[in-house]
């Protein structure tokens, strides 16, 4: 396998040339800020409820700082850029001052990996380094680390050396360390990326103890460590941190508020402080969710990709034992929402700082050439709103059209029949009707994975591998083996099972209530059902349709006889799984990585651009 990767590394530059033939297509460098959404948006239904302590929450932004730019719904719901958000925060801070209350701004991680702004950096730079500068332009009170800050040591080191110090102790990594060289010789030491905890006073003088906890993540790079939450709460520093009672605990963490380890942290605090208010803010699974572990706490999770801005308020003026009145709201991240709650018009909303952030993001967009136009998509292609296989499925587009086309370019084996296999997780986002540019390519399929193959596999054998990988025909899809695999994927950072289950439940509720015509004129969006009282969604929508898809997908079988020898092509990411199944469905040959060859110099991240250039112009 090392031999194959050496070949692929040497050929990666060729793929980049194929992906960006600048002499053949015009570059489009203008990316004008849309001062107002280009399509009508539904306004919020009611003002926010303010209390003594109020919190604005972002999480899992993943580089989505220029907003969602396509016109197919639900994208316009999330069309506000980070400059708009900055203006919103400034206006809300002013309202808080008028009301004489506290308003905190917090973030719970995953700033990296998501769009061209974070992922489109040139060679020699670091993912997220430039976009993080815009995060630093906002007045965040506390921030916590996410798992996407840990997949690459260079990213973690950048956070440790450039990002964390800026926040003067307010960037938290309670159970996450990085190994760095000490000042003398080659000795190393393991230290927190940020701080384990922080104690501070709010603007209104309330004392706060805050921690920043990462879930039990196992996919981190070498020279970074993640301590389990169960072990963290037994550390001496943790005991010392929570010993003194603050006015409230502010717990941040890249950890979902349900079905994870927040109760472990909560119970450790409750053993010491029975009634102290606890405000918990989670993340990671990309959903909107809320729960209450008792009447004096609330736990909020606020979505993903700058689609959702979370809001929580807590009335702390009551007695020390009675239930606290909390509210929560999930705000669609767009200018209509921001202006409504800031009590501003389109002409009075923007601040100078907000407009400067937008201008800076546009400059970075141009520096990375993210407007480079590959073609114009004729329709929407979605991950889950259309069934797989179908003409509207982006998974079908990938395996039935884009991969066969792209991998045939300059390929000496193009006349040999093949089957091309990949995992459905290779695709990260939908493709929308209209311009398909460099940013869209990096957003939908950013992974620089290689394509391998085994020659001379009979069609009848090759066709058994996909069902074997997907375990077609199992009576019990919730088998122990499947649950173990899902748990392993989750531990390594894959949130697709939980996020898709959320979408599926939302869609099922829509189907059950289809007789109700009240939502007939609503646009597509999230329709949240959580465990907290009242309606959490700030703006009414009709739920997104949802269709499940298999873990593994393949191109169509060639029209040849079952005993025809074909090329069995697959993405390098799933090589071990493919070999395991291939050896289980036949016994004539024991296949190993020595049988695996490089199929093409083209990497997965170039496939959609090549297809668009050839078919969408």
Question: Which residue(s) pair with 280 in the sheet?
Answer: 251, 299
Cβ-contact 434, 70 below 8 angstroms: yes
Cβ-contact 601, 457 below 8 angstroms: no
For the segment 544-571, the average pLDDT, to the nearest whole number, is 97
pLDDT at residue 514 in the model: 63
Task: Tell me the C-alpha distance between 487 and 335, whole Å.
Answer: 39
Burial-class residue 520 by CB neighbours within 10 Å (0-12, 13-18, 19+).
Answer: exposed
Domain boundaries along the sequence of the chain: 2-11+372-463+557-615, 31-367
DSSP 3-state assignment of 194? coil
The 10s digit of each residue's pLDDT in 292-322 is 999 999 999 999 999 999 999 999 999 999 9
Instruction: Kindly tell me if the per-residue pLDDT of 93 is higher than 90.
Output: yes
User: How many angstroms separate the Cα of 202 from the Cα of each of 197, 246, 250?
Assistant: 16, 11, 11
Burial-class residue 545 by CB neighbours within 10 Å (0-12, 13-18, 19+).
Answer: middle
DSSP 3-state assignment of 26? coil
Backbone angles phi, psi at 338, to 5 degrees: -60, -45
235: Cα within 13 Å, side-chain hemisphere: 15
The 10s digit of each residue's pLDDT in 376-403 is 999 999 999 999 999 999 999 999 999 9
For residue 158, whether the previous peptide bond is cis, meaning omega lies within 30 degrees of 0, is: no
For the segment 261-283, the average pLDDT, to the nearest whole number, is 98
pLDDT at residue 483 in the model: 83
Q: Taking Cα atoms as reference points, which of 146, 127, 61 lies closest to residue 446?
A: 127
Instruction: Find all residues with CB under 8 Å of 411, minimum gap 6, and list them.
Output: 599, 600
Instruction: Kindly tell me if the per-residue pLDDT of 19 is higher than 70.
Output: no
Question: Which residue(s) pair with 213 in the sheet?
Answer: 253
Q: How high does pLDDT run on average in the chain?
A: 92
CATH superfamily name and code, 2-11+372-463+557-615: 5'-Nucleotidase, C-terminal domain (3.90.780.10)
The 10s digit of each residue's pLDDT in 319-375 is 999 999 999 999 999 999 999 999 999 999 999 999 999 999 999 999 999 999 999
Instruction: Kindly tell me if the per-residue pLDDT of 230 is higher than 80.
Output: yes
Q: How many residues does the chain have?
A: 617
- Mention the CATH class of domain 31-367: alpha beta
Instruction: Kindly tell me if the per-residue pLDDT of 584 is higher than 80.
Output: yes
The 10s digit of each residue's pLDDT in 135-157 is 999 999 999 999 999 999 999 99
Burial-class residue 184 by CB neighbours within 10 Å (0-12, 13-18, 19+).
Answer: exposed
């Amino acid at each position: 396998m090392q031999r194959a990767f050496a070949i692929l590394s040497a050929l990666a530059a060729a793929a980049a040339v194929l992906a960006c033939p600048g002499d053949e297509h015009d570059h489009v460098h203008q990316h004008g800020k849309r001062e107002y959404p280009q399509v009508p948006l539904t306004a919020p239904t009611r003002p926010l409820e303010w209390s003594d302590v109020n919190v604005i929450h972002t999480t899992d932004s993943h580089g989505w700082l220029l907003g969602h730019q396509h016109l197919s719904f639900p994208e316009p719901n999330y069309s506000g850029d980070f400059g708009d958000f900055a203006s919103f925060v400034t206006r809300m801070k002013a309202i808080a001052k008028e009301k004489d209350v506290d308003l905190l701004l917090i973030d719970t991680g995953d700033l990296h990996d998501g769009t061209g702004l974070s992922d489109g950096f040139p060679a020699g730079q670091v993912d997220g380094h430039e976009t993080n500068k815009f995060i630093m332009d906002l007045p965040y009170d506390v921030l916590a680390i996410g798992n996407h800050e840990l997949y690459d040591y260079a990213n973690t080191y950048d956070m440790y050396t450039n990002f964390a110090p800026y926040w003067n102790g307010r960037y938290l990594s309670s159970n996450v360390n990085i190994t760095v060289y000490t000042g003398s010789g080659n000795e190393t030491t393991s230290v927190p990326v940020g701080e384990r905890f922080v104690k501070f006073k709010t603007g209104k003088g309330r004392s706060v103890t805050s921690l920043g906890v990462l879930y039990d993540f196992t996919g981190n790079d070498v020279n970074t460590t993640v301590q389990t939450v169960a072990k963290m709460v037994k550390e001496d520093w943790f005991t010392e941190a929570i010993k003194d009672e603050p006015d409230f605990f502010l717990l941040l963490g890249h950890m979902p508020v349900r079905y994870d380890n927040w109760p472990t942290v909560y119970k450790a605090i409750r053993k010491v402080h029975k009634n102290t208010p606890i405000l918990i803010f989670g993340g990671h699974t990309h959903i909107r969710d809320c729960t209450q572990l008792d009447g004096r706490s609330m736990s909020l999770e606020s979505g993903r990709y700058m689609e959702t801005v979370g809001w929580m308020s807590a009335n702390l003026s009551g007695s020390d034992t009675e239930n606290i009145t909390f509210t929560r709201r999930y705000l669609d991240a767009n200018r209509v929402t921001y202006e409504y709650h800031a009590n501003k018009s389109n002409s009075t909303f923007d601040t100078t700082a907000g407009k400067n952030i937008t201008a800076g993001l546009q400059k970075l967009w141009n520096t990375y050439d993210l407007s480079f136009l590959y073609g114009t998509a004729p329709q929407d292609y979605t991950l889950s709103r259309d069934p797989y296989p179908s003409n509207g499925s982006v998974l079908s587009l990938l395996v039935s059209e884009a991969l066969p086309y792209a991998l045939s370019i300059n390929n000496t084996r193009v006349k040999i029949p093949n089957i091309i296999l990949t995992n459905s997780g290779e695709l990260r986002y939908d493709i929308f009707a209209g311009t398909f540019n460099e940013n869209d390519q990096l957003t939908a399929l950013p992974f620089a994975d290689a394509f391998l193959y085994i020659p001379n596999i009979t069609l009848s054998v090759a066709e058994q591998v996909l069902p074997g990988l997907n375990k077609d025909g199992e009576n019990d899809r919730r088998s122990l083996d499947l649950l173990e695999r899902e748990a392993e994927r989750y531990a390594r950072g894959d949130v697709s099972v939980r996020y898709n289950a959320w979408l599926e439940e939302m869609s099922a509720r829509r189907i059950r209530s289809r007789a109700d015509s009240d939502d007939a004129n609503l646009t597509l969006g999230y329709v949240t059902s959580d465990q907290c009282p009242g309606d959490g969604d700030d703006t009414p929508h009709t739920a997104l349709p949802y269709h499940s898809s298999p873990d593994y997908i393949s191109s169509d079988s060639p029209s040849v006889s079952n005993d025809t020898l074909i090329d069995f092509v697959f993405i390098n990411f799933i090589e071990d799984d493919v070999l395991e199944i291939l050896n289980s469905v036949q016994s004539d040959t024991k296949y190993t990585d020595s049988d695996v060859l490089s199929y093409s110099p083209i990497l997965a991240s170039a496939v959609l651009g090549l297809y668009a250039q050839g078919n969408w112009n």
